Amino acid sequence: MASGRKLEFDSDIALDAAMHTFWQKGYVGSSLSDLISSMGINKPSMYRTFGNKEALFVKATQRYLDTKMKPHLALLHAPNISLKQRLKNHMMSIVSMQCDSERAYGCYLALCQSELVSGSIPVDAEQLLKDAEMLPKQLYAELFKDDPEAIELGLDKNAQANGLSLYTLLKGTASMARSGVSIAELEYAVDSILKGIGLD
């Protein structure tokens, strides 16, 4: 039995390249030629390895969640650190990524989620983006409900609203980062929102 054709490229590197193209241009704005060019492969190789544009987008979005977002989320539960500092570390880690000098694209998810209203996002990709939209709000709300320090400060009483406040700010910093606002300016906004919800 003949074995399958051996890949002539690193699929992880190619997928990272596709992820950064979607991150810069969104799903709608990323043409097949953009993707193939950035990945350094030809169209048959892309289809054979990743499927069509929608399948590639789903894989690239999942890679963003796994490699870019999970490290930020771990900071929320770091031991022996105050709630305020954990939240600030988490938010500034995200803001730092949004402002990365090499590719100040803001947030991959925020950009692509903004395209949902256009109706141009395919069904599987749309569902993944909607699920990703819900996750941080749920995680923040759970943190405010369950964290002993949050309970002591009474932040559990408005857990959903507090979580939404943090998430709304991070959506805003994503847009500001794409507009060239500096990380120092955005840190002031992070400090202000934390103070505003009761973490002086």
Residue 169 belongs to a domain with what CATH number? 1.10.357.10
Averaged pLDDT for residues 66-71:
91
Q: Which of 144, 69, 137 is nearest to 107 (CA)?
A: 69
Residue 58: inside a domain, yes or no? no
Per the structure, the count of domains in the chain is 1
State residue 22's pLDDT score.
Answer: 95
State residue 104's pLDDT score.
Answer: 61
62 burial level (CB within 10 Å; 0-12, 13-18, 19+): middle
Residue 27: inside a domain, yes or no? no
Residue 18: inside a domain, yes or no? no
State residue 174's pLDDT score.
Answer: 94
**Do 106 and 174 meet the contact criterion of CB atoms below 8 Å apart?**
yes
Residue 105: which pLDDT band, with cuts at 50, 70 and 90? confident
Instruction: Please give the C-alpha separations between residue 194 and each of 68, 89, 92, 103, in angstroms, as whole numbers.
Output: 23, 12, 12, 27
Residue 38: inside a domain, yes or no? no
Domain hosting 114: range is 65-196
Residue 1: inside a domain, yes or no? no
**Within the chain, what is the greatest distance between any pair of CA atoms?**
68
Residue 20: inside a domain, yes or no? no
Residue 32: inside a domain, yes or no? no
Give 147's DSSP letter.
-
Residue 7: which pLDDT band, with cuts at 50, 70 and 90? low
Q: Over the chain, what is the mean pLDDT?
A: 91
State residue 52's pLDDT score.
Answer: 94
Residue 120: which pLDDT band, with cuts at 50, 70 and 90? confident
